[in-house]
Structure 1
Amino acid sequence: MAFDGITVAAIAKELKEALTGGRITKIAQPETDELLLTIKTLDGALRLYISASASLPLIYLTDENKPSPMTAPNFCMLLRKHIGNGRITGVSQPGLERIIHLDIEHLDELGDLCKKKLIVEIMGKHSNIIFCDETYRIIDSIKHVNAQMSSIREVLPGREYFIPDTMAKLNPLTAAQEEFIQTLRDKPSPLGKAIYTSFTGISPVAAEEICWLSGLESHMTAKDLSLDMLAHLYRQFSYYMENVRLGRFQPLIYYDKNAPKEFSAIPLSHFTEYTFQEYDSISQVLKCYYATKNTLTRIRQKSTDLRHVVQISLERNRKKYDLQTRQLKDTENRDKYKVYGELINIYGYSLPAGSKELTALNYYTDQEITIPLDPTMTPQENSQKYFARYNKQKRTFEALTELIKETADDIQYLESISNALDIAMSEADLAQIKEELMQSGYIKRKFTKKKVKLTSKPMHYISGDGYHMYVGKNNLQNDELTFSFASGNDWWFHAKGAPGSHVIVKTNGDELPDRTFEDAGRLAAYYSKNRGSDKVEIDYVEKKHVKKPNGAKPGFVVYYTNYSLVIDSDISEIENVQD
């Protein structure tokens, strides 16, 4: 989700409650476009992280420190001179702009009380941190913007600070119904786009949510709607903005599988296909979202080579499977040639020389059939020709049946590795998957003196009834969990007919409650290729009934008796233990 005005409103509210009255005890500039302020409050010391990065502008409270350069940059030295030991008297947001004002009081060299403003603009590539006096005259900024860089506004010492109004957007917190309706009717674009391009601080996701709450399709235009429908849309718009005005925020992150999809300060009811996790503060959301996003991006980049190996092998095996299936189809009529040979042997003695066909009664079906003959061959030779064709196709059928099973097993195995790559969360996970690919012969092992230590562990959850549940991240872990870690009376879960993780529930000799079965089923559904589905069929059985055939690939098991349940893949309510 874009860092929109609604998110900034949630941050401003949080900062106002946490920092007002606090004293700035330390000012650092870890990067050229970052500030880290340490603020002493009645509840203890807090750190405020501010980034004016063009690619990732942020502002939030954090407990993490960052190393600073040996020599502080000029902007950092200026702030230390003016507001070092200053007191934060207020935090505000103008309208619903992506801007936060920090009002600061401090004593100058003569001991006189002075007031300054630290203005944080979260505006993508135009983001900036601007230091002004109380009359909004710019003292300095972390980025200087001259006339050659922008014809709209210069950000230089001595210039007057103002918010450029380049889009002529309306303030959604004060828009009246008539103004709202007329603004949308003047726009030919779809409803969702008309909302976020007409009102300050509203992102496309928020506009989509407002349309959803109104029961309207966002691709419709305002001209397609009656006045009553537009009035209904305005009421939902007002209810939504009332949450912002009153500070009724509920920070959460939505997940697509295990990857963070969006974050929001207000629940997004139209995100029905995603799981979500609630947080106590918007700072926690931003910190977790971007940390996880960066981690997943790094892991995905590092897994590119492994994914390429798996994808190439999958494509090769799928082509092989299609070819083998077509060849097998050609052998479907093999029994016909056996019947032809038998009937020629029985009735061929009465055929005149040079006959091109034989019409005879098929004693298998009690119907007459016509058999083509080669007139240059005797009946016995024609019979032998059909028997030879039958035997060849029979051998082909038997060989292809075995080959198709092997190819299908290879495809299933490679899909399980692909699923393991999807749920990998660390470099240790990737190292174990790479080891598995080397053991299976898909990657050549490089013999080096340095031995890679495998430290990846299965995921650990606790059910609502307090039972420990373990989830394998890859096939090696699946085998370890099922055949080394689990006891005979522990329960084993797996998504039916889909690549996925083995889930083990430790029973401690108890009879499991129904809720624990459901929790384990949800884990098996979530960590499978069917993740995100509302209905996933899960097989479960006591571990003692799960067997591994001789020579089977890692993660492959068989069982001949099992129970089944159909469950969703929402694991947001299941406690995750970080071992």
Structure 2
Amino acid sequence: MHVDFLTLACLRDELDRLLGARVQHVMLLDELSIGLELYAGRRHYLLLSAHPQLARICLLSERPRRGPDVEPPILLLLRKWLRGARVTDVTQPPWERVLIFHFEGAQGRCQLIAEMMDRYSNLVLVSPDGRVLDAIKRVGPEVNRRRVTLPGQPYQMPPPQSNRHPPVVVDWVALLRSVSPERPLHAVLTGHLLGVSPTLAHEIATRATGNSLALVRDADPRVVGKCTADLFAPLLNGQWQPHIGLDEHGEIVAWAPYPLFQFPRSEPVATISEAMERFFTIRTGQDAYAIARREVQNAIDAAKRQVEQALIKVRTQIPDEREVQWLREAGELLLIHQHTVEQGAEQVMLPDYEGTVRCITLDPTRSVIENAQLYFQRYRKMTRAAHGLPARVAELEAEIAFLEQLAADLRLAQTRAEIDAVREELAEAGWISRSRHPSATRRGPTRLIIDGFTIYVGRNARQNEEVTFKLATPDDLWLHVRGQPGAHVVIKSGGREVPQHVVERAARLALRNGTISAPVDITQRRFVRRMPGGRPGMVIYRNERTLWVKPDEQAE
């Protein structure tokens, strides 16, 4: 389902309310989408996206969530040119899937051109002299030599579709006679007419024949022409009828500025923006923070891949202990039997300490003693590696555990502040740059009271550190899912014995905050220690007992 010509025409009329509106904020929602907050009597929120599958323009019912914590050049230019500017016009070139937003502000006049062309969609900021200031997708000559979209280049409209004709001037009898009667009617419509999308073509076929998949031979040209004219009439009279199409299960599968008889159900909506917002809310998921969450998850994944690759490399460098000892022994054997080794030999067979004859490779350009020294040098080098590399392996394994903990923290994050807290942890670890917009005061651990016992639950590494080493005392009970990253849970016992049902509730909290079902370890806080060299919230513990519990989604 893609934005088509009629959808944009309907939207253009809807956007008349924004003429004269002042741009208050410009937001980057994701790498291919921007949001504009405009004021015209009240706040309006306009979304423009050049996503290859989810490209769209629509007004939103509420303020969109800000996206990645980055400021690409186009965002800085959009803020420079649009912030404080007024919308002077919104235009649509004939038969094009393009809307042109005209602005006038302190920097002068400019245009934001939204090209809704599926995978070729783009958002282009154009200067008063018609040159590209920047685009959300820069297109160089190596991609499209005929239409370059780069800063400083003259802006060019998408090339005209010379092989298609406006529906208002079509000779329907001639058109349908010129094609095979066995061709699907909808394919003929999309292939020969301007402004006709697959959805619109199926709708014309449905209205003309009762079947969206009808063949040309089933269609009366006059009826096809009338149905087409009816659907394009709002271009002149402005009487749009935005609808959403639903399948047999009641799921929204389409939208259009006209009733959708091709689907089992068609429901009217107030505006085409509402139709698109409802459709894309389902397609993009219900997570309001999905964009910000995905950005942090991508950074965690990239860091983890880097550490895992380093770990593989280090492990391959750890020498075999028997090989190391043989280097020392070979050097010693050469010294012991130096008088029996022929000068210039490339190898020699000598008995080892157990009497087994071994082959020792030699450098024929060196003396026997020099060859022995070479073996000793290699022995010392590999011995040093054998001592240093295991520590490096442990360090890298700890870093992977830290990143897995951050991934778990991110899954548990329920607010933007909690997502930002995970990002800050990643930045403090040196994996990404620090945010230019520090988050608000960090939220503390979750606090619950169950039958008079206070329970603290950490949702991220710093909260886990606080729960375990600041809020807990040595006699308190400490719980954690075995073998997984997840929450630290503490039961404040106050010297009292904790009833089993309270322990089980706390264990479910730990399990719910883990990644999958698993046994929960329980021990006193006194037996929990920070992992040497580990990140905040990383611990080792002992004297634990294990409680098997089922996850409880209602634990909190």
Q: TM-score, normalised by structure 2?
A: 0.49
Q: TM-score, normalised by structure 1?
A: 0.47
